């Protein structure tokens, strides 16, 4: 069952004639300061002849792929994603050892792919302005190369948002989150 936010996102995409494709790519560190890995997805937004492709780093919590036995979690390799729960439970039993012998899975926690809402909610919906304005607004040091790379990525994203949607539609997009 879709939440109200997810319905708003689906309705927005339908109203604007856009199609969004979300495809799992890999599990890795995504942001420069990531300490843990997360699932990374390829996103494609299409509207007529306009196509925008980009990567999306999912939340670490929604990227978790583990078998749980008691209070212990066993990481499951990402190549097992398409396997059934019984196949994963067999893998855990045969390949993962606990302190008391072979482990078994009480339950399996699978990754949760991002929804259309999750992707739309994270998009840049305002012109970032000048680099100086951007740094002042978000607390970046103007002498930082990291800040400059972040600013350039935000500008590129903003340009793509403007390429896909009109000003009025971007106003509607802002209301979704």
Give me the count of residues in the chain.
Answer: 177
CA 59 to chain centre: 6
Q: What does the alpha-carbon distance between residue 119 and residue 56 come to, in Å, rounded to a whole number? A: 7
Residue 18 has pLDDT above 70, yes or no: yes
Per residue in 81-90, pLDDT tens? 889 988 888 8
What pTM did the predictor assign? Answer: 0.87
């Amino acid at each position: 069952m879709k939440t109200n936010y997810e319905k708003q996102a689906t309705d927005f995409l339908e109203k604007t004639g856009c199609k969004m494709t979300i495809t799992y790519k890999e599990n890795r560190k995504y942001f420069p300061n990531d300490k843990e890995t997360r699932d990374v997805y390829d996103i494609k937004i299409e509207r007529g002849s306009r196509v925008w492709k980009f990567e999306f780093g999912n939340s670490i919590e929604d990227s978790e792929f583990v078998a749980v036995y008691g209070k212990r979690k066993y990481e499951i390799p990402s190549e097992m994603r398409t396997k059934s729960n019984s196949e994963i439970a067999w893998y855990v039993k045969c390949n993962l050892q606990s302190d008391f012998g072979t482990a078994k899975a009480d339950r399996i926690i699978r990754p949760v792919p991002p929804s259309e809402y999750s992707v739309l909610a994270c998009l840049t919906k305002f012109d970032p302005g000048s680099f100086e304005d951007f740094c002042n607004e978000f607390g970046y040091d103007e002498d930082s190369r990291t800040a400059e790379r972040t600013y350039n990525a935000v500008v590129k994203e903003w340009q793509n948002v403007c390429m896909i949607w009109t000003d009025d539609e971007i106003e509607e997009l802002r209301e979704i989150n």
